[in-house]
Amino acid sequence: MTQTNIITRTFETPIGNVICGLVTDCTSLHLVGHNTYENGKSHIFETVGHRIEIIEFKIRQPLYKGETVADSFGWIWKTKKRSGESKSLEIFCLFENPVEKVKFDTACGESLDAIEVYNENWSLHIGTEDGEALNYRAKNDDEFPARLENKVDFYNSITKMQENGFRTSIPNLNEGENLHLQYLTAYDKKNIESVNTWLAVDQDKRKLENWIGIPW
């Protein structure tokens, strides 16, 4: 069956757009509710087999040692398996539609997969948890199934990096299992002496939830 984008969100920046969305072969998806958090908001969708909440928010500022960025955005996707029906789900976060020529680079760190998009004037990062971070959550049964412990690691993740962003294949979940995935982006004027946009996307799951006001 042909896969179709059925949820997309766009964050506009001075050098192009960051687009975060869902690709699936499921033909039926319904908006069933929403949540308002202290520092975020969400929409809740349901398919025959899944409940999907997409939480949108700005990254907390100031950052480490008081640094700031020009602007930022984040998306958390919380997926829960509702029934035994199996459908393909893929979440992506990509930089697209550059307004002028840009360059790309990788910018990974401890527990972080990240890319940088930049030109002479601006620097932008997109970041998400790497395989080691996902495996740590599996060990703690923290919205990554415990049965998948040691199925992901630094070299083997459900998220694949490409030049302009990330694609994450949702594993087959058992009924009742939950999965948390996060994608963060930030941009600022280019400054070779600052790593502020990289720091902005290097965020721990629990700290993000505390900032947004998501109950544990």
CA dihedral 132, 185, 173, 150 (to 10 degrees): 0
Distance CA 57, CA 164 (A): 21
Is the model's pLDDT at 5 over the cut of 80? no
**Segment 188-210, tens digit of pLDDT:** 999 999 999 999 999 999 999 99
Structural domains in the chain, sorted by start: 4-212 (2.70.98)
Among 5-9, 48-52, 70-74, 90-94, whose mean pLDDT is lowest?
A: 5-9
Report the pLDDT value the prediction gives residue 183, as an integer from 0 to 100.
98
From the number of C-beta atoms within 10 Å of its C-beta (0-12, 13-18, 19+), residue 182 rates as buried
Q: Return d(Cα 49, Cα 84) in angstroms, integer.
A: 6
pLDDT tens profile 120-164: 999 999 999 999 999 999 999 999 999 999 999 888 899 999 999
Straight-line distance from the first to the last Cα atom of the chain, in angstroms, rounded to the nearest whole number = 36
